[in-house]
């Protein structure tokens, strides 16, 4: 399929063959690693993103630097590509809907719409009987006290939209000042969630393609520092029953969404062994970076395969792995990491390290247990 193919009004389920161009919304490190995986399969990539330090543009075949609301730039972008996807979910819904009228867009704008707003996401999960912590919408500051009476203390107040890596989240205890909590949350609509006293956090990454075939990577254990993923341990230190339950939940979500692409399902494992879904991310995920070095098929290659309608790859893990994010000045240790036997260093090409900024990651492999 060439970029000159007439625009489709909707995704008709066509396979996108090697040699075609994948359009990626977003210019961050996930887009960078997806573009590198696409190149290995013979695809070209075209990045669309606003101005800024965009490491994906360094490795892509082409780039359009423009606001997501620029209809003219979006039309030109659509004319140069064969399929649209995104590397993060904070893309305006209208942008995805505009492009979906011109070229196949995978995952669909509906999936993006559900997953980019916490209330819609939680309501969707409830509708398909996926367990989550208790939650309530908080539409204005005056509603917070009433919601706390229902949910109890402690609780977590989160912005309904555009939150990640702990942004827009505030813990509320019995002695917290509600006005201050609302101001720190920083949004016009929030969601109040019951605090989960969990044993550990895990995630499952699921791929689903055009023919409905679904594969799931095994659960991994995630450890956070200041609400940002710090370390991923593979395999997760959970029972076989918990692992099977987590994978089944991930598959169920992908199927109910009608997903074409990749989705990461972040979950809590409680002290009682319950598995509660926390958040969804319908694209490659930080907790899947280990798969580049520790798995037959990386999450990024799987992402390309799923979006293009190709057969999905094996998710078999050939090694145990520990993936460590390099946040801010952590990246300054790159020389020592390169000298370490068995360490696999991945740098994202970002210009400036800042506190909490993801500059790269290192994966250390050991023999599979």
150 is in an annotated binding site: no
pLDDT grade, residue 141 (50/70/90)?
Answer: confident
Give residue 164's pLDDT: 58
pLDDT grade, residue 3 (50/70/90)?
Answer: very low
What is the CATH architecture of 198-367?
Answer: 2-Layer Sandwich (3.30)
167 is in an annotated binding site: yes
291 pLDDT exceeds 60? yes
Give mean pLDDT, residues 10-24: 90
Cβ count within 10 A of residue 147: 19
Give residue 8's pLDDT: 41
| Average pLDDT, rounded, for the chain | 93
369 pLDDT exceeds 90? no
Kindly calculate the radius of gyration of the chain based on its CA atoms and give it in whole angstroms: 20
Domain ranges of the chain: 21-105, 134-194, 198-367
Angle between helix axes 93-100 and 71-79 (nearest 10 degrees) is: 40
Dig out the tokens for 151 from the structure: 């949910």
302 is in an annotated binding site: no
186 is in an annotated binding site: no
122 is in an annotated binding site: no
Specify the 3-state DSSP secondary structure of 199.
strand
Give the model confidence (pLDDT) of 64-108 as tens digits. Answer: 999 999 999 999 999 999 999 999 988 999 999 999 999 999 999
Dig out the tokens for 76 from the structure: 């030109």
Give mean pLDDT, residues 34-61: 98
Specify the 3-state DSSP secondary structure of 162.
coil
299 is in an annotated binding site: no
CA torsion 42→322→280→54, rounded to 10°? -50
Global pTM exceeds 0.75:
yes
360 is in an annotated binding site: no
171 is in an annotated binding site: no
Give mean pLDDT, residues 2-15: 56
195 is in an annotated binding site: yes
358 is in an annotated binding site: no
279 is in an annotated binding site: yes
CA-closest candidate to residue 263, choices 274, 273, 250, 272: 250
123 is in an annotated binding site: no
Helix locations, the chain, DSSP H: 29-40, 71-79, 93-100, 109-115, 118-127, 143-151, 178-185, 240-257, 291-294, 299-308, 334-338
Give the model confidence (pLDDT) of 227-275 as tens digits. Answer: 899 999 999 999 999 999 999 999 999 999 999 999 999 999 999 999 9
Residue-wise DSSP of 3-35: TTSPPPSS-------TTSEEEEE--SHHHHHHH
Q: What are phi and psi of 16, to 5 degrees?
A: -100, 115
315 pLDDT exceeds 90? yes
69 is in an annotated binding site: no
168 is in an annotated binding site: yes
Dig out the tokens for 152 from the structure: 């109890």
Give residue 179's pLDDT: 85
Dig out the tokens for 290 from the structure: 């280990």
For 21-105, CATH number out of 3.40.630.30, 3.20.20.120, 3.40.50.20, 3.30.420.10 equals 3.40.50.20
- Residue, of 168 and 99, whose pLDDT is higher: 99
pLDDT grade, residue 6 (50/70/90)?
Answer: very low
Cβ count within 10 A of residue 367: 7
Give mean pLDDT, residues 284-289: 98
CA distances from 323 to 81, 222, 231 (A): 33, 10, 6
Residues forming beta bridges with residue 234, ordered by sequence position: 321
158 is in an annotated binding site: yes
Q: Do residues 137 and 191 touch, judged by C-beta distance below 8 A? A: yes
Domain 134-194 falls under CATH 3.30.1490.20: yes
């Amino acid at each position: 399929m060439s970029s000159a193919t007439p625009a489709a009004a909707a995704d008709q389920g066509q396979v996108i063959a090697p040699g075609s161009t994948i359009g990626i919304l977003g210019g961050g490190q996930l887009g960078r690693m997806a573009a590198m995986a696409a190149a290995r399969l013979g695809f070209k990539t075209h990045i669309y993103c606003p101005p800024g330090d965009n490491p994906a543009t360094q490795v892509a075949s082409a780039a359009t630097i423009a606001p997501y609301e620029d209809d003219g730039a979006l039309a030109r972008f659509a004319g140069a590509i064969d399929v649209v996807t995104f590397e993060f979910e904070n893309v305006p819904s209208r942008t995805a809907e505009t492009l979906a009228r011109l070229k196949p867009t995978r995952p669909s704008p509906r999936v993006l719409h559900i997953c980019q707003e916490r209330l819609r996401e939680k309501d969707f999960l409830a509708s398909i009987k996926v367990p989550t912590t208790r939650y309530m919408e908080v539409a204005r500051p005056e509603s917070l006290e009433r919601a706390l009476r229902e949910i109890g203390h402690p609780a977590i107040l989160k912005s309904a939209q555009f939150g990640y890596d702990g942004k827009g989240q505030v813990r509320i205890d019995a002695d917290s000042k509600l006005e201050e909590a609302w101001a720190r949350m920083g949004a016009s609509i929030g969601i109040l969630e019951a605090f989960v006293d969990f044993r550990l956090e895990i995630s499952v990454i699921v791929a689903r393609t055009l023919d409905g075939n679904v594969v799931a990577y095994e659960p991994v254990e995630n450890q956070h520092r200041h609400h940002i993923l710090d370390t991923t341990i593979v395999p997760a230190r959970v029972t076989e029953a918990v692992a099977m339950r987590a994978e089944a939940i991930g598959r169920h979500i992908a199927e109910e969404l009608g997903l074409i692409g990749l989705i990461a399902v972040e979950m809590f494992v409680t002290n009682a062994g319950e598995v509660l879904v926390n958040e969804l991310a319908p694209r490659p995920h930080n907790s899947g970076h280990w798969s580049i070095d520790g798995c037959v098929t990386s999450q990024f290659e799987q992402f390309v395969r799923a979006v293009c309608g190709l057969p999905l790859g094996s998710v078999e893990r050939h090694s145990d792995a520990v993936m460590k994010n390099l946040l801010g000045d952590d990246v300054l240790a790159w020389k020592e990491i390169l000298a370490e036997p068995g360490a696999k260093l991945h740098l994202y090409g970002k210009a400036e390290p800042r506190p909490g900024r993801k500059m790269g990651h290192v994966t250390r492999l050991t023999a599979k247990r």
